[in-house]
Structure 1
Amino acid sequence: MVTDNRILQFFPQGLRRDWERNGVNFDRIQEIRLRVNQPVRVLSEREHRLPIIYGERELEEIFRYLCHDSVYAYEEERKQGYITVEGGHRIGITGELTTAGNGRFIAKYIRYMNIRLAHEHKDIAKKIIQYLYHTQQGIPFNTLIISPPGVGKTTLLRDTIRLFSNGVEGYRGCNVGVIDERGEIAGAYRGSAMLDCGERTDIVTGGDKQQGISILVRTFAPRVIAIDEIGKSTDAEAIFHAGVCGCNILATIHGSSIEDIQHKFEMERILQSELIERFVVLSMDEKMVRYFEIYDRKGNQICGKNLLQVPA
């Protein structure tokens, strides 16, 4: 089996032979882990150890290749510990850090890389979308997706954005504003979305959530504002104010249940206000099969445990 060319794109010509020998399927891979002087590990349905070992020179060569030999052009992203490459794939980078001003650090010697592959799974939100609209008003509910890491919340978020934007049977499409801090939702590369977020969607990449919401509310009149990963109290505060301004909210947060996020300080005001009208809770079993459940603002279950998958 020959390795998919979409895998080879991450490696300089001189390092591709090892990958060509090992037969790797792009569509099944979530992450490729590169560690100095250690075997490469690939995460798909399970972890695979490949007989490929890179030293310091090879890792530096791979990084320069991914930056198109313009390392300084990626300096702002590097300060956050990653770069985003064409196709929306995010490359986590670390090693020996050095100060980069303003109390921030940047990897001086890159010794560890995590290539996180961006995959589109269109219609994965099709089974949940019917629960996320006001049937009488025809507009989306304020919705929060709750998920442990690695279960697929960003993929589900992206497809929900696309369906809200384009419209679905019985409901018209609407303007959606996306704040994509790390370029993971839209797979943005140089500001352009590489992944389909819908035809009525405007995307702010690189700024923080407060800045992004301010820009969108002032100048783009979104019906829905979408963000990934509420991580701190300022994120929650920005979302609360967007709701007060009349925008509907579509957001995600790490957690395992509604009860779990109730203990998060940053969620206190949002939950007390009952701003969120729908909670979509994701889970995954030991066989990596994914499920969803849906609850209303009072915590009543309105959709029991269902498979989360692209319809056949």
Structure 2
Amino acid sequence: MIEKLLPDEFLSVIRSRLDESRLYELRIRTAQPIVIDYGGRYYYLGKSGLLDEPEHAFTASDGLVKNIVVSATEYSLYSVNNQLSRGYITIEGGIRLGVCGETVKDAGGVKTIKDFTSVNIRFPHEISDCSLTAFSYINDVRLRSALIVAPPGAGKTTVLRDLCCNISKIAIKNILLVDERSEIAAVHAGVAQLNVGIGTDIISNCTKSYAFSYGVRSMRPDVIVTDELMGEEDFEAVADAIAGGVAVIASVHASTPEELFVRRGFKELYDKKIITRYVFLSDRNGPGTYENVYDADMKRLYLAS
């Protein structure tokens, strides 16, 4: 799918000079140098490949961002407007485009985005069994509720995706995947573009509060897996699901327990002691580096060497 999005000169350099398995992001901003996240580090992209300075980098021409977004939607912006109005598009192969531009509003909120100014093309990575360390602590005497905690770009989504595979395969549990922004399974045209296991049901592009309520009633999951918890409503949805007897595994942005405690809504969830595993990741040795695992009382169970 990437060949449908990028100019030939960009694509030629990527295919001939780079290892695509190390490509994480391509950031394209109108009239600015092209920036690439390669192996967890940012560079500029130019004819000779990766550059440390912008002087000889490719520059995004006027109209390039629009052309990429329109191509990604297969020339039908309307068909993906539910996603576009929330700032992203998920396409074939699990590639996800974050989109910036001018928002168009109506009485119900943001109606769509137009006059695109930048796009962040994010390339998913499937790493089999990268979740086994987390899994060993989450599925010890029983399947526990857990938070996967890490800063942006440190592998939370990749670990969650692999946890779905291992929970359904090894623990043999029914999983409800609440993929609010289509990052974990990347469903496109009704088909998951990325492997989330043989026992996983997927709800995409809706709020967690709706998906948790609807999904628990209709699918009777053993565990709910979901992406980034953002505020009080999300933390409350997690607490309600666990109180109803369903384990929850979710991700949240933070680097340390101290940062986690200042997240709005977390303290109330912590005080209930219903999250019994906290798995902290970093990108210290590349995305998905395990740093610490804590129990419900924030007592350390695992410390990276």
Which one of the candidate residues 29, 47, 54 is aligned to 2:42?
47
Which one of the candidate residues 148, 152, 163 is aligned to 2:151?
148
Residues 208-249 of structure 1 deviation map (CA, whole Å, 9 limit, x = unaligned) = 101111121111111111111110111111111100110011
CA distance in 2, matches of 1:252, 1:288: 14
Matching residue of 2:11? 19
Matches within 5 A, 1:81-100: 81-100=87-106
Matching residue of 2:162? 159
Matching residue of 2:195? 196
C-alpha deviation, 1:56, in angstroms: 2.2
Structure-2 change in CA distance of 1:191 and 1:235 (3 Å): farther
Residues 104-153 of structure 1 deviation map (CA, whole Å, 9 limit, x = unaligned) = 15321112110011111110011232211242xxx311111111111111
Matching residue of 2:64? 58
Matching residue of 2:227? 228
Amino acid at match of 2:20: F
Matching residue of 1:309? none
Which one of the candidate residues 120, 126, 151 is aligned to 2:126?
120
2:187 is paired with a residue whose SS is coil
Matching residue of 1:266? 265
CA distance in 2, matches of 1:262, 1:96: 34
Amino acid at match of 2:129: D
Give the conservation status (yes or no) of the 8 Å contact 1:7–1:24: no
Q: Which runs of 5+ in 2 are unaligned?
A: 47-57
CA distance in 2, matches of 1:117, 1:179: 20
Amino acid at match of 1:96: E
Structure-2 change in CA distance of 1:69 and 1:265 (3 Å): closer
C-alpha deviation, 1:286, in angstroms: 8.0
Give the conservation status (yes or no) of the 8 Å contact 2:261–2:267: yes
C-alpha deviation, 1:191, in angstroms: 3.4
2:228 is paired with a residue whose SS is coil
C-alpha deviation, 1:290, in angstroms: 2.4
CA distance in 1, matches of 2:213, 2:9: 49
CA distance in 2, matches of 1:147, 1:250: 14
CA distance in 2, matches of 1:206, 1:284: 28
Residues 152-206 of structure 1 deviation map (CA, whole Å, 9 limit, x = unaligned) = 1111111112111111xxxx31101111010001122133211111111101001
C-alpha deviation, 1:289, in angstroms: 7.9
2:64 is paired with a residue whose SS is helix
Matching residue of 1:8? 3
Q: Please say which of residues 96-105 and 77-86 is displaced more in the overlay.
A: 96-105
TM-score of the two chains, using structure 1 as the length reference? 0.87
Q: Percent identity?
A: 29
Matching residue of 2:29? 35
Q: Which runs of 5+ in 1 are unaligned?
A: 1-5, 307-312
Structure-2 change in CA distance of 1:248 and 1:16 (3 Å): same
CA distance in 2, matches of 1:283, 1:44: 16
Matches within 5 A, 1:151-300: 151-167=154-170, 172-285=171-284, 290-300=289-299
2:194 is paired with a residue whose SS is coil
| Number of residue pairs matched by the alignment | 291
Give the conservation status (yes or no) of the 8 Å contact 2:164–2:196: yes
Residues 14-51 of structure 1 deviation map (CA, whole Å, 9 limit, x = unaligned) = x2144214533321011001111122111113222123
CA distance in 2, matches of 1:161, 1:44: 26
1:302 is paired with a residue whose SS is strand
C-alpha deviation, 1:9, in angstroms: 4.0
CA distance in 1, matches of 2:105, 2:182: 24
Matching residue of 2:109? 103
Give the conservation status (yes or no) of the 8 Å contact 2:155–2:288: no
